[in-house]
Every structure is written in structure tokens, then in C-alpha cells.
A and B are shown apart, each in its own frame.
Chain A
Amino acid sequence: MKRTTAVFLAVLLFAGACDSGSGGGSSSSTTTPGVTDTEVVVGTHMPLTGPAAAGYSKISPATKAYFDFVNAGGGINGRKITYKVKDDGYNPATTQQVVRELVLQDKVFAILNGLGTPTHSGVLDFLKTNKVPDLFVASGSRSWNQPDKYPGTFGFNPDYTVEGKILGTYVKENLAGKKACFLGQDDDFGKDSLAGIEKVLGAVVAKQNYVTSNPNVGPQMGALKAAGCEVVLLATIPGFTALSIGTAAKIGFKPQFVVSNVGADPTTVGKALGAAAPLLEGVVSANYLPINTDDTNPWIQLFKKVNDQYNAGAEFDNNIVYGMAVAYLFVQSLQSAGKDLTRDGIVAAVQKNGFQGPGLVPLRFADKDHSGYGGEQLTKVQGGKAVFFGQPYTTDDADGAVQPYTGQAVTPPQNGIPAA
């Protein structure tokens, strides 16, 4: 019976521990979870460890750094932003656990920028049931744009079909008559991207898939070489971009690479290629945010300043630009939602849109559209840096045309914090 007593004691301890945990997070006068007169608590799930941590683990510290910068300026409507980051290791089962912890235990106001298609797909229903705003998911899957089914979920990245159409247009206009082929990840990323490319180019000459669990693309690149491909479009994550370009070089295969924005950051890919980094010269890609190496851009100047002051001067790459751009958009949403901050209020504010920030093209948010940025501008690697060329394009994920965008880029506000 001693053991039974021990179990009982353990259970009591366990129960006691959670009481102290849940008791601390209660809010004061207002009824909205995570919001008090002086604070708004938001949470996220990110891969800080595990297979997707390389590069991506730099996003949430950057977001947090921008919030610290805003808090140092007095916060928004008198409220400081507290950003709770939970590591899910890119494992959907862990995502379930940590998102429940954030919502049920830590009582966050919203989930901001949860990363990953397989991970975030699993918590959509949970967030909907609990009426938690699910803002600016970090992935280009079209799943986030289902306002009828998931009214509180909003995307951020241009979706992969939009990107595919823009990359396809580049190939059609500049590399006409060359044999175009495709290598993509074996999930929504690859499938949506290919759908966009084929909408513009028609069927590609050859297409191949890879899975992240098998880091060898030798057979795929061999097949593309055998098919006589002259242009290879890649829907790959950074590690596999490096692998594909490196493998092609090894077998003497020199096509023009056109790479999805997801896997084209020259800093990250170059690091993976090591001494073979010069192979990246001339690679074409696209982007919708300012590029980290563009020191003349006022947004980059702002973000660099914040990075030095509040992020301990972490190596400034495009993941940091991304994290801060998300933070900037969230602050805009908070400003727009006004002083009486509620969950319905912020969803309505985001749907009303009208935000202008670091993005090259407008966000598309509306009643019936919850997808993020609506287009991209092409880049080319020159001297180890990605450089914009041409003009930005916008399009949709259906049959709409790819159109040049002529709007003017905005500059950041004087103090670096968006006004109401």
C-alpha cells in the first residue's frame, strides 16, 4: 500500500503544481484572455530544435526583439507586448501540446506566426473552437485562406501557387523555348508550386519529388539531366536547394536554376554549400520583403538598428527581416484594433486591411480573402548577394493574369513604430 500512497502523493503534487500555474495568469478587469490594461500576451510555436531549426529558429527572437523595441517606446495603447515562444521541434504532436499550453494555460490573446504546414494544420480546429485569432501563419500553404471554415486564421507569405505563377512568367518571358523542368518537396509546397508554374508554362518536360527525410537528390537530378532540362524550377527548402545545386554540379549538369523564395536565401544556402557557394551565381528567385543586404533600404536600416539593440546583434539574414516584418504587421493590427482590444476586434481590423509596411506588394486581406502578400519581385544572385531586378508582380492563386505592380514602396515611420 505504500506504493499506492506514493502514487497518490505524486498525483496531488502534480495537481498542486498546476493550480499555481493556472492561477497566475488571470487577467484583471477585462474579459478578453491575455489582455490587461498594461499588457497583451501573444504566443507562437516554432522549431527551435529539430530538422527545421536551421534558419527558422532565428525568426521568433527577431519578432521578440521588435516587440521589445516597441515596448521600450511605451507599448501600444499603454500595453506592453509579451511574446511567448514555444519550441515544437517541427513535430505536429508537440505542436498540439504547446498550442494547448499557450491557449488554455498561458491564456494568450492570439497565436502569431505559428510556423509550418504540417504542424500548424493540426491546430486549426482547436484554435477555431476556442475562438483564438490565428494571425499570419508562417507558411505559404493555401490552407490558411479559408475564411468560411476558419474565420480567425490569416496567412502571411504569398502562397506557393502565386509564387509558381510569377516564377513561371519569368521563364516564359526570358527563357522561352528552353526545356523547363521541376523538382519539388513531396507535400503542399511542391504541389501548389507546380500547379502555379504549369498554369503559366503548361506541362513541364520532367518533374521530380523529394522527401526531407532522405537527403539525397542524386536520382532526381540524374533524371532531370537525362531529360535534357535547360531550366530547373525548385520548390525546395534551403538545405535541399543547396543539395540540388551541388548534386547537379557534381554530375556536370548546368541548367538555369529558378528557386522558390522559401529556399533561396543566399546566406543560408551559401553556408550549406560551403566552398561551393559560387555555384549560386545567377540563380533566379523572388522575394516580397526587402533583402537583408540592401543597406540603402530604410526598412533594412530600421531592422538592423533594432537587431543591434534588442537582439544582441544576431547575424542579420532574411529570417530576421521576416520575423521583424511579421512583428511590424502585428503592431499595425493592434493599433488598428484600437484601445478596446478584443479578439473579434483584431480579426475585424485585419480584415479591413489597409496596412502598408515593408512588403513590396500589398497584403490581400479582406472579408473573403485571408491570404497574405499577393505577389513578389524577381531577384538574381550577383556577387553572392540577391539583387532585385524588373518590377514587382501580383496575381492570384486561380487563373488571374500575372500583372506588374506599380504602387510606390512606403518608408518606415520616423520613430520606427506604426501609428494608429
Chain B
Amino acid sequence: MTDIKEKRPAITPEQTTSKPRKRPHPIWYAIAGAVLIAALTYYLPPFRNYQLATVGAYFTVTAGLTVLTGLNGQLSLGHGALMATGAYTFALTQNRWLTMPLSFLAAVLATVLAGAVIGLAAARLRGPYLAGLTLAVAVVVPSVASTFDDTLGSDMGLSIALDPPPGVIPMERWQAWLCWAGALLTALLLALLVRGRFGRDLRAVRDDETAARLAGVHIARTQILAFVVSAACAGLAGALFAFLAQSVSPGAFPLTLSLFLVMAIVIGGLGRLFGALLGALLLVLLPALAQSVAEGSGSQHLEGNLALVIFGVVLVVVMLAAPGGLASIRFTSIRRKR
């Protein structure tokens, strides 16, 4: 995955000549990723393929969120709600027309719309106020679902009609392919987007609004655009989640999901797509690992809570060992210390 961290200086002609090490174009990362995923889906057993697909779906949303929070400095606690928007749109469109590409497109469009509305308000708010607004959005999901219970099915949610995978492809492999197609496409577009002028604008707005304004950057427009872009990613991710679960309900998009997403990008390394990938991986692996450790401990009454304890302890240890997130750990720095 390409690296979009803020430390990289804008490349000027002198620097390129003095520093011959040039990063490959993001497209190569995407192609390498696609080849790797395709190979993995043949190598891994079905359940691991399903987990791989889930990582892909999570990566789709964490990638967008890390751009918003890490590069533009807007903290959103409502991305779970945006995922729900995408998921419900996917479900309704899919049940109506049963055409998957159309349903994915509709999901992204609907979330872009929702993202633009929230983004407009967000551009006027800072820090905790913005967190409060997005938090409110996350909390409101179940009420919307129960207010329009004839269409959205209240707490029960909706089940989704899906075509079987084409040919003889096993379901889990098909799910992994689709989810990672979405994830890699998202990551590629984001990487291309933040490489250029837009990326510089994002960072300028985050670091010093006054200076950015003086330099001719349109603050509100940049912020709204950042929100819309990351909302679109969340919408696609929500649709992928709905596709994976073959159902959608408010219970699948609780407040904790939004909080976990923020946690994932912080643990992974804020502002980097690679960090978002690590965060997505953790979101899938850590609960599973914690659960199996808890099971192994032999206590059947603590099982549920013990897993949460292990989960929390691991997070604390990671933050202590790598305050900049997992992506900031460098093998070189270890070597240099010797």
C-alpha cells in the first residue's frame, strides 16, 4: 500500500536528483495487492477467505477515515452511520432490482449525499463539536430504522436477495474478490487523490487554517470535499458489509463500530493507508484471537468478558510500544540502534 504520511516533502526537481529513491506509482501497489489477494483466495481455506473479505470491507472504510482524520484533522465518530446508509441503500436497491453493480453504485451515491449534508455542517465545526455532531448521527440510526419500519424493518432489519456467485466459484472466494476489488480501488483512488494538490490542501487546512487561507486554499470547500470522499468510502464499505452478512439491521452498525473504526486508524498509524490496512486487519483478527485465548483459559462463565479484557490489554500495550501507530514501527530504526 502506498504511503501518504505527511512527512514526505513535496517533491521538487532538486530533491529528486539528490535523492534517487523514488516511490513506485500507487497503481503498482494496487496491482501487486490484487495479485496477492487472488493468490491467497486459492491458498486459504474458506473461513479464512471470509475473514480476508471482512478485512477488505473494513479497509475500505478505514482508508477513507484516515484521510479525513489523519490528513484533514476532522474527527468523525459517525462513520458507522454512514456505513449503515450505504448498507440500507444496497439492501433496498438489491431487493428491488437484483443487480449488484447498480446496488453498489446506489449505495455510494446515497452516502455521498448524506456525507455532503453532514460535511456542510462539519465545515463550520471544530474538534469536540464536530465529534458531537457525528456522534449524534451514529446514535440516530436505530431510530430511523424503527420510524420507517415498513421499509427498513425496524430492529429486525432486512434480509438481502443475492445472486449466487458466477460459475463454480465458492461463495467465500467470491466475497473476498468483491470486497478486495472495492478496497483496492478505494485505496488507489485515495492515494492518487492525496498525492497531488488536494492532498497538500488537506494538510494545509489541518496544520494552520489561517496560513492555508492566506495561501489561497478554500477552507470550507476542502473540508466538505474531504468529508464527502471519506463518506463515499464508508458507503461502499457498508454495502460490502451488507453483501457479506446477506442482511442489514441497526444492530450491525452500533456506536461501538464507529468508535472501533477510529481506534483502528489510530492504532494502525494515523494518516497512512498502510496504517488503515493494519487497523482493518486488527479489527478482524484481534477479537477472534481474544476469543480463542479466552476459550483456552477454560473458564466458561467469564468467556464473554474475558475476551474484551484481552482485547483492551492488547490495545494498551500497542499504544505504549508504538505511540505513532503500528505503521510507524520501522525495521531500520531497530537496526540502527545496534
A binding-site residues for B, Cβ under 8 Å: 2-4, 6-8, 10-11, 14-15, 18, 22, 48-49, 53, 57, 61, 64, 85-87, 90-93, 96-97, 100-101, 103-105, 117-118, 121-122, 125-126, 129, 185-188, 211-214, 312, 314
Contacts and interface: CB of A to CB of B under 8 A. Distances in A.
A91 B252 contact: yes
B303 A48 contact: yes
Contacts of A212: 155
B154 interface: yes
A3 B3 contact: yes
A210 to B, nearest CB: 9
Interface of B: 1, 3, 29, 32, 36, 40, 43-48, 50-51, 54, 142-143, 146, 149, 154-157, 159, 171-172, 241, 244-247, 249-252, 254, 274, 277-278, 281, 285, 288, 291, 300-301, 303-305, 307-308, 327, 330-332
Nearest to B46: A104
Given A6-B331, A105-B48, 14 more contacts: A4-B29, A14-B285, A18-B47, A22-B48, A57-B304, A64-B300, A93-B241, A93-B244, A104-B45, A105-B47, A186-B149, A186-B154, A211-B155, A213-B143
A404 B303 CA distance: 43
Contacts of A11: 36, 40
The 4 closest A-B pairs by CB, nearest first: A48-B304, A213-B142, A104-B47, A93-B252
A91 B291 contact: no
Chain A CB within 10 A, most for which of B48, B143, B332: B48
A85 B233 CA distance: 34
A263 B304 CA distance: 23
Nearest to B50: A100
B197 to A, nearest CB: 25
A48 B303 CA distance: 8
A118 B155 CA distance: 8
A289 B218 CA distance: 69
Contact of B300 (A8, A61, A91, A97): A61
Given A87-B291, A211-B142, A118 B244 contact: no
SS class of chain A's interface: helix, strand, loop or mixed? helix
B175 to A, nearest CB: 10
A2 B172 contact: no
Given A15-B43, A104-B50, A105-B45, A312 B301 contact: yes
Contacts of A126: 246
A410 B60 CA distance: 57
A312 B298 CA distance: 13
A367 B247 CA distance: 29
Contact of A92 (B50, B54, B157, B303): B157
25 contacts: A2-B331, A4-B32, A7-B277, A11-B36, A18-B48, A22-B47, A49-B304, A49-B308, A57-B304, A61-B300, A91-B254, A92-B249, A93-B252, A96-B245, A96-B246, A100-B46, A100-B47, A118-B249, A121-B156, A121-B247, A122-B245, A186-B146, A187-B156, A213-B250, A214-B146
B327 to A, nearest CB: 8
A19 to B, nearest CB: 8
Contacts of B288: 101
Contact of A49 (B47, B48, B251, B305): B305
A232 B330 CA distance: 66
Contacts of B143: 211, 213-214
A15 B40 contact: yes
Nearest to A83: B300
B244 A96 contact: yes
B241 A3 contact: no
B155 A188 contact: no
A125 B154 CA distance: 22
B268 to A, nearest CB: 12
A3 B268 CA distance: 13
A118 B291 contact: no
A87 B44 CA distance: 24
Nearest to B33: A7
B155 A213 contact: yes
A2 B247 contact: no
A92 B146 contact: no
A15 B39 CA distance: 11
A18 B307 contact: no
Chain A CB within 10 A, most for which of B1, B29, B171, B300: B300
A8 B277 CA distance: 13
A9 B162 CA distance: 35
Chain B CB within 10 A, most for which of A2, A86, A186: A186
A15 B44 contact: yes
B159 A121 contact: yes
A91 B251 contact: yes
A3 B281 CA distance: 15
Contacts of B303: 48, 85, 87
B304 to A, nearest CB: 3
B151 to A, nearest CB: 13
A312 B48 CA distance: 36
B49 to A, nearest CB: 9
Nearest to A19: B45
A2 B47 contact: no
